[in-house]
Amino acid sequence: MTTPPSTRMAAEIAEQPEAARRTLEHLLPQRAELRAAHAGRRRVLMVARGSSDNAATYGRYLLEVAAGVPAGLAAPSVATHYGARLDLSDTLVVSVSQSGATAEIVETQDWARRCGAATVAVTNVGDSPLAAEADVALVTRAGAELAVPATKTYLTQVLALAVLADALGADLEASLATVPAAVADLLGTDVTEAARALAEADEVVVSGRGLLLGTALETALKLEETCLRPVRGYSYADLRHGPISVVTHGVLAVLVAAADGPLAAPMVELAGDLRGRGARILGIGGTTAFAGQCDVHLPGPDLPEVVAPIGSIVPAQLTIERLARDLGLDPDNPRGLAKVTRTDTSAG
Amino acid sequence: MTTPPSTRMAAEIAEQPEAARRTLEHLLPQRAELRAAHAGRRRVLMVARGSSDNAATYGRYLLEVAAGVPAGLAAPSVATHYGARLDLSDTLVVSVSQSGATAEIVETQDWARRCGAATVAVTNVGDSPLAAEADVALVTRAGAELAVPATKTYLTQVLALAVLADALGADLEASLATVPAAVADLLGTDVTEAARALAEADEVVVSGRGLLLGTALETALKLEETCLRPVRGYSYADLRHGPISVVTHGVLAVLVAAADGPLAAPMVELAGDLRGRGARILGIGGTTAFAGQCDVHLPGPDLPEVVAPIGSIVPAQLTIERLARDLGLDPDNPRGLAKVTRTDTSAG
C-alpha cells in the first residue's frame, strides 16, 4: 500500500541534501565574521519561537558541550512586554526566524542591541528586517518553502547553528561535510509501519535528551500541527519528574536518540522503562541496543551525536508527512496555521 | 455535595500562610549574604527539575524584569553527562530542590562551583547535601511535607526566589510582607465548579505568560501527576505557534493571569481567542475583563504581578486536590511517583 508522495512537504523534505550543501557552502566562509562578533563576549543568548526555538535548543546544547561557550534561551516577553533593562554587553544574541519578519523576534533583537549585545540573525530570507539589522546575517539557502510545516528551513537553521558553534570553538568541520550525504541516505526510509503505529496510538509522547532534545521537541510540534492531534514533547528528565506516571497501555512513546555519546545508554534504559509501563516505542536513531527496545525503529543519520540533530529530524518528517496523508489530512496546509506566526508585541 | 478535606495535601495547602510567614522571617535577614555572593558577578543561572524548575522559571523572569539581572535556566545534563567545561566565574548559580538530596542537582551545583560560580541552594532540608555545599543556603520553612504533590514546599521556594530578587535589586519588601495574608484569603475559595469543569473536559491545556508562566507550568504538572491525566502546559507564545490549532470543542483551557502588568491585556485576548475556537476557559486571577471571558473563574491573590505567583498557585492546588477526590483518587499518593525523583547521573 503506497500513497504517492505528491505533496509539497514531501518535495521539500527531498530537497534537503541540496539545501544543506548550498547552506554550508555559503555559511562556512562567514566563520571569521562570527568570531569577530563574539570576540570579547562571554556567552550566547538565543531568541526564537516555535520550530526555530527547537533549533535554538540544539544550538544552546552544542555551544555549551562542544564549544565551551555558556548559552541560553531568551524569554522574548522580557524585552517586548516588560522592557527590562539588562546589561548584555558580554553577550552575543542569536535570533532565529525562518521569515526574518516575525515582529516579536525583530523587536527582541533590536532590544538586545540597545542592551549592548552583538547580534547574529539566522534566517532564510536575506532581505528581511532581521537580517538587515543584525551585525552578522547567516542566511540559510533552503529556497522558498511553500508547505506550512517547516522542514528544509528547520534543517538548515540547525545546520547554521552548527556552523556558529564551529566558528566559536567546536571542531565540527569534517563532520559537517558529511551532512548532505547522510541526509540523502535517509530519504528512502520506509515509514509505513511508523505512521501506522502513530495512527493506532491513543496518546503520543515524544522524548529526547541533551543534544537531541530539540529534535524531540520539533518532532512533537510537527506531529501536533501537521496531524492535528495533541502530542506532548518532554525532555527525558521532565518525563521522569511526573508525566511518566500517565504513560501506560495505548501510549506510543517516540524516542529520538544518537548512536554515540553519553546519553546513548540512558536512552536505552528509558525505552525499557516505558515499555515496562505498557507503552509501545517508536525509536529514531540510537544504538543497536536502543533499536532492540523499540517496537518500531527508524534508522538515524550516519553522523556523530554533535551533528546528528541535523539529520535526525528527517525520519520524523517523512513519518509525519505520511501519517497526515494516511489520516486524510493535507500535510501542506494544516488547519489554523499561517506561515508567519504573530505573537503580539504591543504592551497593553 | 461536599467531600470532607481530610487529605494530607489539603492540610498542607492550609499550612501555607504560616509556612510563608516563617520562611520570610528566616530568609529576609540573609539578603546581605546573597548580595555578597552576587557581588562582581553578572548573571544568575538556575538549576532545578520538576516543580522546582517551575519555581525557577518564575525566579528567572523576576530577576530579569524586577532586578535587571540577566538570568536563565541551566541544562543539568551539560554538567552531569557531557561534563562541559564552562567559565562560570561571572555567574551566581541558584539550585532549587525541595529535598536538597536529588543527586543530579547536587552534582550540577558541584560542577558549577568547579566552573567558578558562586552558589546558592534553595531547599526545605537544612542538613541536606545541597545546603551543606552551597555558599549560601536559603532553607525554606515549609515543615515536613508528607503528601507526594509539592504544595507548601513549592510556594516557599517561589517566595525564597522573590527574596533573592529583592536582595539583588528588586524592590519587593513591602509586597512580600502582604503575602501570608493574601495566601490565607484564598484558602476558602469554592473550587466545586472548577473541579467539575476539569472532570468534564476531554482535553486540558494550561497557559500563562511572563511572570505567571511558571505558575501555569506547575498547574499543568500537578494536574497531570495528581489526577493521572495528560495535561499540557504551554507558554502563551508556544501555544500560538502551533498547538493552538488543536484547541477545539471539548478542550478546557486553564489560564493563569495577573491583575496588573503588561500581560494582563494579552491574557484577556488569549481567553477570547480560545473561546472562539470552542474551548471552555477556567481562569485564575487576572483583570475583571479577563474574568468576563472565563466560563469558570477563580479569584487570584491580592498581590501585584511581581509577587502574584507566590499566591496564584493556591487556587490551582485547591482545585486539583478536590478533583482528585472527586475522581476517586488519592491526592496524597498518586500512582508511580516517589517524593525524591532520581534522574540518572551516571555517564554511560
Strands ordered across the beta sheet of B280-285: B231-235, B203-208, B251-257, B280-285, B296-298
The pLDDT of residue B339 is 54
The pLDDT of residue A6 is 84
CA distance A188 to A230: 28
pLDDT at A36 exceeding the cut of 60: yes
Cβ-Cβ contacts under 8 Å, A237 against chain B: 49, 76-77, 104, 343
Burial grade of A110 (CB within 10 A; 0-12, 13-18, 19 or more)? middle
Confidence of residue B336 (pLDDT cuts 50, 70, 90): very low
Nearest to B84 among A65, A87, A230 (CB): A65
- Minimal C-alpha gap between B328 and chain A (Å): 16
- For residues B90 and B45, the answer to whether their CB atoms sit within 8 Å is no
The pLDDT of residue A338 is 54
Nearest to B348 among A43, A240, A262 (CB): A262
Q: What grid cell was written down for B195?
A: 473541579
Q: What grid cell was written down for B305?
A: 504581578
CA distance B30 to B283: 36
The pLDDT of residue B231 is 83
Cβ-Cβ contacts under 8 Å, B225 against chain A: 242-243, 245
Burial grade of B72 (CB within 10 A; 0-12, 13-18, 19 or more)? buried
CA distance A74 to A51: 15
Candidates B53, B211, B223, B245, partner chain A, best to mutate (most A CBs within 10 A): B245
Q: How many CB pairs under 8 A join A and B?
A: 185
pLDDT at A348 exceeding the cut of 70: no
CA distance B30 to B32: 6
Nearest chain A residue to B205, by CA: A230
Q: What percent of chain A has pLDDT over 70?
A: 94
DSSP string covering B236-260 = HHHHHTTGGGG--TTEEEEEEE-SS
Nearest to B343 among A228, A237, A262 (CB): A237
Residue B272, CB-side half-sphere exposure with 13 Å CA sphere: 8
Tens of pLDDT along A280-289?
Answer: 999 999 999 9
pLDDT at A155 exceeding the cut of 60: yes
Candidates A202, A305, A344, A346, partner chain B, best to mutate (most B CBs within 10 A): A344
pLDDT at A228 exceeding the cut of 50: yes
Q: What grid cell was written down for B345?
A: 547521573
Candidates B38, B42, B58, B77, partner chain A, best to mutate (most A CBs within 10 A): B77
Q: What grid cell was written down for A90?
A: 558580554
The pLDDT of residue B224 is 87
pLDDT at B347 exceeding the cut of 80: no
CA distance A165 to A149: 26
Q: Indicate the average pLDDT of chain A.
A: 93
pLDDT at A39 exceeding the cut of 90: yes
Q: What grid cell was written down for A52?
A: 526555530
**8 Å CB contact of A266 and B348:** yes
The pLDDT of residue B25 is 98
Q: What percent of chain A has pLDDT over 90?
A: 84
Residue A173 vs residues A26, A31, A176, A178: alpha-carbon distances, Å? 14, 11, 5, 9
The pLDDT of residue B345 is 46
A7: left (phi over 0), alpha (psi -120 to 50) or beta: beta
- For residues B251 and B278, the answer to whether their CB atoms sit within 8 Å is yes
Tens of pLDDT along B99-148?
Answer: 999 999 999 999 999 999 999 999 999 999 999 999 999 999 999 999 99
pLDDT at A342 exceeding the cut of 70: no
| CB atoms near residue B156 (< 10 Å) | 31
- For the segment A135-140, the average pLDDT, to the nearest whole number, is 98
Tens of pLDDT along B192-242?
Answer: 999 999 999 998 999 999 999 999 999 999 998 888 777 888 888 778 876
Confidence of residue B246 (pLDDT cuts 50, 70, 90): confident
The pLDDT of residue A239 is 84
Tens of pLDDT along A233-269?
Answer: 888 887 887 677 778 888 999 999 999 999 999 999 9
pLDDT at A340 exceeding the cut of 70: no
Q: What angle do CA A179, A184, A185 make, to 5 degrees?
A: 100
| CB atoms near residue A117 (< 10 Å) | 27
Q: Rounded to 5 degrees, what are φ and ψ at B122?
A: -115, 110
Residue B280 three-state SS: strand
Q: Which helix (H) or strand (E) holds B6?
A: none
Residue A169 vs residues A39, A57, B26: alpha-carbon distances, Å? 12, 18, 45
- For residues A68 and A43, the answer to whether their CB atoms sit within 8 Å is no
Residue A205 three-state SS: strand
Candidates A51, A62, A69, A82, partner chain B, best to mutate (most B CBs within 10 A): A82
Residue A309 vs residues B47, B49, B199: alpha-carbon distances, Å? 25, 24, 39
pLDDT at B156 exceeding the cut of 60: yes
Q: Rounded to 5 degrees, what are φ and ψ at A281?
A: -115, 125
The pLDDT of residue A246 is 73
Confidence of residue A211 (pLDDT cuts 50, 70, 90): very high
CA distance A103 to A100: 9
Candidates A86, A87, A207, partner chain B, best to mutate (most B CBs within 10 A): A86
Range of lowest pLDDT (A219-233, B277-291, B330-344): B330-344
**8 Å CB contact of B224 and A240:** no
Tens of pLDDT along B298-322?
Answer: 999 999 999 999 999 999 999 999 9
**8 Å CB contact of B77 and A210:** yes
The pLDDT of residue B92 is 98
Q: Model's pTM, two decimal places? A: 0.94
- For the segment B271-275, the average pLDDT, to the nearest whole number, is 95
The pLDDT of residue A341 is 52
Tens of pLDDT along A172-187?
Answer: 999 999 999 999 999 9
Nearest to A265 among B72, B343, B348 (CB): B348
Write down all domains in chain A, each with its CATH number in brackets: 8-177 (3.40.50.10490), 184-326 (3.40.50.10490)
Q: Which helix (H) or strand (E) holds A77?
A: helix A76-80
pLDDT at A275 exceeding the cut of 90: yes
CA distance B70 to B86: 17
Residue A101 vs residues A68, A98, A108: alpha-carbon distances, Å? 31, 8, 12
Nearest to B76 among A237, A264, A337 (CB): A237
Residue A251, CB-side half-sphere exposure with 13 Å CA sphere: 24
**8 Å CB contact of A49 and B90:** no
- For residues A73 and B60, the answer to whether their CB atoms sit within 8 Å is no
Nearest to A240 among B88, B263, B341 (CB): B341
Q: Indicate the average pLDDT of chain B.
A: 93
Instruction: Quickly tell me which residue has 526555530 as its cell.
Output: A52
ipTM above 0.90 for this complex: yes
pLDDT at A336 exceeding the cut of 80: no
Tens of pLDDT along A76-101?
Answer: 999 999 999 999 999 999 999 999 99
Q: How far is CA B304 from the centre of its chain?
A: 16
Q: Which helix (H) or strand (E) holds B5?
A: none
The pLDDT of residue B242 is 67
pLDDT at A42 exceeding the cut of 80: yes
Q: Is the dihedral of CA B194, B197, B199, B201 positive or negative?
A: negative
Any residues with CB less than 8 A from the CB of B328 and at least 6 apart, and which?
none
Range of lowest pLDDT (A130-144, A263-277, B32-46, B216-230): B216-230
Radius of gyration over alpha carbons of chain B, in Å?
A: 19
- Minimal C-alpha gap between A135 and chain B (Å): 22
Confidence of residue A346 (pLDDT cuts 50, 70, 90): very low
Where would I find the H helices in chain B? Answer: 8-14, 16-27, 31-38, 51-67, 76-80, 103-114, 129-133, 152-167, 173-177, 179-186, 192-200, 213-227, 236-240, 264-276, 288-292, 308-326
Q: How far is CA B66 from the centre of its chain?
A: 17
The pLDDT of residue A313 is 98
- For residues B257 and B212, the answer to whether their CB atoms sit within 8 Å is yes
- Minimal C-alpha gap between B338 and chain A (Å): 9
pLDDT at B1 exceeding the cut of 50: no
**8 Å CB contact of B75 and A88:** no
Range of lowest pLDDT (A314-323, B22-31, B36-45, B325-334): B325-334
Q: How far is CA B191 from the centre of its chain?
A: 20
Nearest to B263 among A81, A84, A265 (CB): A81
Nearest chain A residue to B90, by CA: A42
Cβ-Cβ contacts under 8 Å, A229 against chain B: 246
- For the segment A23-36, the average pLDDT, to the nearest whole number, is 98
Burial grade of B31 (CB within 10 A; 0-12, 13-18, 19 or more)? middle
Strands ordered across the beta sheet of B43-47: B71-73, B43-47, B91-96, B118-123, B136-139
CA distance A203 to A186: 27
Nearest to B337 among A84, A210, A245 (CB): A245
Cβ-Cβ contacts under 8 Å, B49 against chain A: 237-238, 241
Any residues with CB less than 8 A from the CB of B11 and at least 6 apart, and which?
B5
- Minimal C-alpha gap between B14 and chain A (Å): 23
- For residues B198 and B281, the answer to whether their CB atoms sit within 8 Å is no
More confident residue, B261 or B246: B261
- For residues B234 and A217, the answer to whether their CB atoms sit within 8 Å is no
The pLDDT of residue A152 is 98
Instruction: Quickly tell me which residue has 529530524 as its cell.
Output: A313
The pLDDT of residue B127 is 97
One-letter identity of residue A165: A
